[in-house]
């Protein structure tokens, strides 16, 4: 019998990606304070923050799931040395989108595997996304159309929806952009014998 898989997340997008790949798993949200962890990492690079958050989630959930292979994941978004968070208001979403205009930002997507509270694997993938030059009037119309969906992602966009209109260039794979790099995840699960190879 294969080791049980647990996703340390309540994200519907991450669950959907794993379900679409045919994985059988349970899903449990981690009880960690992400902002507190970030504050303790003052000065860390955005990819280090993503790995630390993914690790905290995996370790937290694995403590209550003996013997299970727990998958923790997280994503940070950075423009130069500025790290963005999910907008808390439409005005903040507007400010963020205008800050991203005519610039290339980076998504840092981390995966960590834990068993019985111990880390057995860590991985980080990157995607670089260039936002076309946006004017304030377009951003206002975009926000009026997509509404509260902007609160669900750190960049105030969903690439799989109308957010694709914001971009002029994308470098990186789709799964990294969605926050769960599936190809390295599946490769490592096969290597560990956790899924059919």
Give catalytic residues, as residue numbers. 74
3-state secondary structure of 148: helix
Residue 157 to residue 170: CA distance in whole angstroms: 14
Burial of 195 (0-12, 13-18, 19+ CB in 10 A): buried
Cβ contact 136:98 at 8 Å: yes
Neighbours of 174 (CB within 10 A): 13
Specify the DSSP element, H or E, that contains 136: helix 136-146
* Cα 194 versus chain centre, distance: 23
Neighbour-count burial for 18-56, b at 16+ CB within 10 Å, e otherwise = beeeebebebbebebeeeebbeeeeeeebbebbbbbbbb
């Amino acid at each position: 019998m294969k080791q049980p898989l647990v996703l340390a997340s309540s994200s519907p997008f991450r669950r959907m990606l794993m379900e679409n790949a045919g994985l059988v798993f349970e899903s449990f949200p981690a009880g960690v304070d992400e902002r507190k962890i970030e504050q303790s990492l003052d000065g860390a690079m955005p990819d280090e923050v993503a790995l630390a958050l993914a690790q905290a989630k995996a370790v937290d959930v694995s403590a209550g799931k003996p013997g299970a292979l727990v998958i923790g994941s997280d994503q940070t978004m950075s423009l130069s040395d500025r790290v963005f968070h999910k907008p808390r208001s439409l005005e903040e979403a507007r400010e963020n989108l205008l800050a991203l205009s005519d610039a290339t930002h980076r998504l840092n997507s981390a995966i960590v595997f834990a068993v019985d509270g111990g880390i057995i694997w860590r991985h980080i993938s990157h995607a670089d996304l260039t936002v076309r030059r946006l004017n304030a009037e377009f951003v206002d119309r975009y926000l009026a159309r997509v509404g509260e969906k902007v609160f669900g992602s750190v960049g105030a966009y969903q690439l799989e929806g109308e957010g694709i209109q914001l971009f002029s260039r994308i470098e990186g794979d789709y799964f990294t952009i969605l926050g769960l790099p599936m190809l390295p995840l599946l490769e490592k699960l096969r290597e560990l014998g956790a899924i059919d190879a």
